[in-house]
Structure 1
């Protein structure tokens, strides 16, 4: 894995590069969906705002899960002293490179999408439906950044032929051959994006695609956690699995509510 790419004096983090590529892929898909449905909105602006909100939300959620570690990190960042702002900034950027929670990013991204739907006069729920395929493909591509940076999102030790090694300079190094769980998530996300795109060709009840996205994306995250290194905290499950169950439950409720509303309207 290659957490950094050095081009002369330029020191680039691969996580940031893959996050940018994920935003590009999501922008292309969202733009095409806007065109397909005759929506006059700026896909680039929507995705940019969602990415910023999602990264901040993911980082905040991750840090709030362990307050002592957050306090320690803040002490390390401020150690150079506020009279040396450049060193403080460098320490902050180094801390910000790793440690992101999927559920916090999803919550912040959903909130930002709904707000963007109001701004674009599309409607909050319709914006979520339109963005579902883009969200799926963006998430999958972004996960590869976790793999290349070796930030601890990889899987358990394995002897499978497709297992991968983490380099010593990975953000969270390990000497073991591990399962490339981000690749599993990429493949699942591509399949989910394709399904949502196909289903989105027809007019669906408002919120139905969003419910399906929450249900299936939660299912994918729940399953991949069985081969992830995340600690089991609640009832033998990881924190991410509990959050994934919440996503699946909300998605199922949304789909049932949409179906009930459609049925009552038809009658």
Structure 2
């Protein structure tokens, strides 16, 4: 793992670098979607807003799932007291660098997109449709940040040739821990799935006769399926009927996506009937 890049006296977190690259990639794809649809909104502003909302939502959702850890973290953050603001700020950024929940980021990101859809007069749901390919690809690129930082490599053990080590950064220098264990590189699986999903949604978006909400529903269903499946290879705690938190959230995402598809098609049918 390569959690940090050291350039002279400058230290950069690879997670943050990959998040930035994910935002750039998503902004480019969204810009292409806007051009194809004749929308004049600024893709960079839209993606920046969604990224900020998504990161805050992912962090908030994670901390709400672990209230005891949150209380302990807050005590550590404010321990120096407000008489040492620089120390408080340093501790806060250190705490904020790890611990994010996918589902919280998804909810806050969707909310930010819908709000901007209304602001730019494109329609909340239509904005979601336009952003679906960008969201899929950006998410996949961002997951590689989890790979480089060591935060998302906790797959089950494997003997496959592409298995990877879990590195313990507390050791100097960082070393595999345990030394002989190889695990599934689940972020890479998510990247490949996300790229395929983004391509599929982009091709689907070429059809000008899709009902509004169709692409959004398909994105929710397919991304939920992908997340559910990858959790089978991750070593997350099983809490509900043998499923992890992420799997339960994925099932909810699939159900919501199916409902969105059904509603969009029924509204389309109603419009066609009225026109006829």
Q: Does TM, normalized by the shorter one, top 0.5?
A: yes
* Equivalences for residues 180-259 of structure 1 within 5 A: 180-203=185-208, 204-259=210-265
Alignment match, 1:6: 6
Equivalenced residues, count: 266
Tell whether the 8 Å contact from 1:2 to 1:167 is kept in structure 2 after alignment.
Answer: no
1:113 maps to 113
> Structure 1 residues 257-266 or 70-79, which shifts more?
257-266
Q: Report if aligned partners of 1:184, 1:224 keep a CA contact under 8 Å in 2.
A: yes
Q: CA deviation at 1:174?
A: 4.2
For 2:235 and 2:96, locate their aligned partners in 1 and report how far apart those are by CA, in whole Å: 21
| Secondary structure at 2:167 match in 1 | coil
**1: CA distance, partners of 2:46 / 2:267:** 29
Matched, 1:165 2:170: no
SS at match of 1:234: coil
- Superposed, which structure 2 residues align to 1:124-163 within 5 Å? 124-163=124-163
SS of 2:5's partner is: strand
C-alpha RMSD over aligned residues: 1.3
The whole-number CA distance in structure 1 between the counterparts of 2:177 and 2:156 is 10
**TM-score, normalised relative to structure 2:** 0.94
**Deviation at 1:121?**
1.1
Q: 1:174 to 1:62 in 2, by over 3 A?
A: farther
Please tell me whether the aligned partners of residues 154 and 182 of structure 1 are also in contact (alpha carbons under 8 angstroms).
Answer: no
Determine if contact 1:147/1:154 at 8 Å carries over to the other structure.
no
Q: Which residue of 2 aligns with 1:49?
A: 49
CA distance in 1, matches of 2:238, 2:86: 39
Between the aligned partners of 1:174 and 1:214, the Cα distance in structure 2 is: 36
Instruction: Classify the secondary structure of the residue corresponding to 2:232.
Output: helix
4+ runs deviating over 6 angstroms: none
Paired residue secondary structure (1:6): strand
CA distance in 2, matches of 1:21, 1:198: 23
Q: Is the 8 A contact 1:153 1:229 kept in 2?
A: no
Matched, 1:98 2:85: no
Structure 1: stretches of 5+ with no match in the other structure: none
SS state of the match for residue 165, structure 1?
coil
Residue number in structure 1 paired with 2:61: 61
Aligned equivalents of 1:83, 1:22: Cα separation in 2: 37
Unpaired segments ≥5 residues, structure 2:
none
